[in-house]
Structure 1
Amino acid sequence: MKVDFKKIFPALTAFIAFILTLCCLFAGTQKNLLDGADLLTLYTPEGSSASTANQFYSVHIMSYCHGSLEKAEPGSSGGARNVTGCSDRKLLFAFDPTEAWHDGVSHGPNLEWPRVISDDFHAFRLTTRSMAVMYIIGVGAVGSALVAKMVSLIAPRRQQGLFEFGFLVLGSLSLSVASIVATVVAFEFVDLINAHGDGSNVSAKYGDKFLGMTWASAGLLLVGSIASFINVFVRGMQPEPAPAPKDEEEGD
């Protein structure tokens, strides 16, 4: 059976994007499950007398993880992270510092926690939840495109590629919007936290691994959508070649 690579190329890009998007969604939902692929990491002041204080909180799409930092070696930029636990997974998750920290830790005099940072996270609750919704829509659309492709391979019918194309476009738009929001949060929101935390030893850093995965997924879906458009509206509209005439058998 001859396989037309041009016809299955959109499905290949969709499959890779589907895996990458699932990694973005489920990163940090369990300990040691892609806990390094976070949207941003919040670093708390060192030297707190509270024994329950964590030195960092990595914020993900559906959860957050916390832990301590290993002592940095001379000449290195920072110590390695030691994740001690992660929160429960929630579809519409929004990081809340007042829930992540104990009252004695988040408002203790030794921590010098600026209340304005908690207000910053509260202000971005709707934004982060909307971003999670767009990721969920994107995963569902890409998964539907893969199912539509499997059905077309098992029972091919005319114009079945329209379903694949429609789901790919929906997935591409959803993940592109989610990636844009994630980028804004990663850069603008992190800068806001660093500005408000200046003088209190509270800092934040965006997750470059997460941004790389989400934009790779969005880019793959864009390429797949263009390829699917060509298959449906360019190649699909071309008339099928006429069958070659058979030589008439000579009579005896």
Structure 2
Amino acid sequence: MEELDTVLGKAVALLRAFGPEDRLLPLAELVRRTGLPKGTVHRVAGDLVRHRLLEKTEHGYRLASGLFELGMRAATERTLLEVAMPFLQDLYERTHETVHLGVREGTEVVYVAKIGGHRQARSPSRAGGRMPMHCTAIGKVLLAHAESSVRSAVLAGPLARRTPHTVVAPGLLEQQLDRALETGLAFEREESTPGLLCVAAPVLDTDGATAVAAISVTGPVGRFRPEAHQNAVRAAATALGSTLARRPGGL
């Protein structure tokens, strides 16, 4: 692979070898996942340790705090999170359900923040994590407001079926996107994870058409009614959009 021919490419490969659930990886596992020679992995990992991007332990390597520091310097996401947090906290206090803030990157959702209490529904989302757009409420509402080329790319598929309820028919998904564009709301009904329901609203740019982010409220089947929280999530998203619009230079 061409990207592994450079030192930077090798370093990125090592960092990306860590999955969402990985806390520590032995050297042998890093070699297996990257396909790089053992000596190369050992050398590059040592460089990353010296730069505080990896931490070496008795049993292997884990991601270090230097990565968190760099991530928090990402200007757009940091500004968005700083401005959004009071609105997310208010929304959580109103609903006492799991609240998410997400942005679009390519054809995926990246979660910038997640707030939940002791009774929060179990979900695969996490701050910094990614999910497909077609099976999440945040993804649908972001996709509805995305440029036509992005929408066409997602609808062209394939649309992965994550649960028996995932919408994998392009025509049906397109209808949901049109509805989200019309109402300013999108819903998920056990489409990314069994037992979870969700409602999301877009945070619109000053042009009133482009979504810079989206906010959602998620809860479990049996207790949570998405329709009961649609006004609250829409109000939070609208208020955040208005606040961002008043900032000099926006995001």
Give TM-score scaled by structure 1 length: 0.24
Bigger helix fraction: 1
Larger Rg: 1
Report 1 or 2 for greater relative contact order, CA contacts < 8 Å, sequence distance ≥ 6: 1
Give TM-score scaled by structure 2 length: 0.24
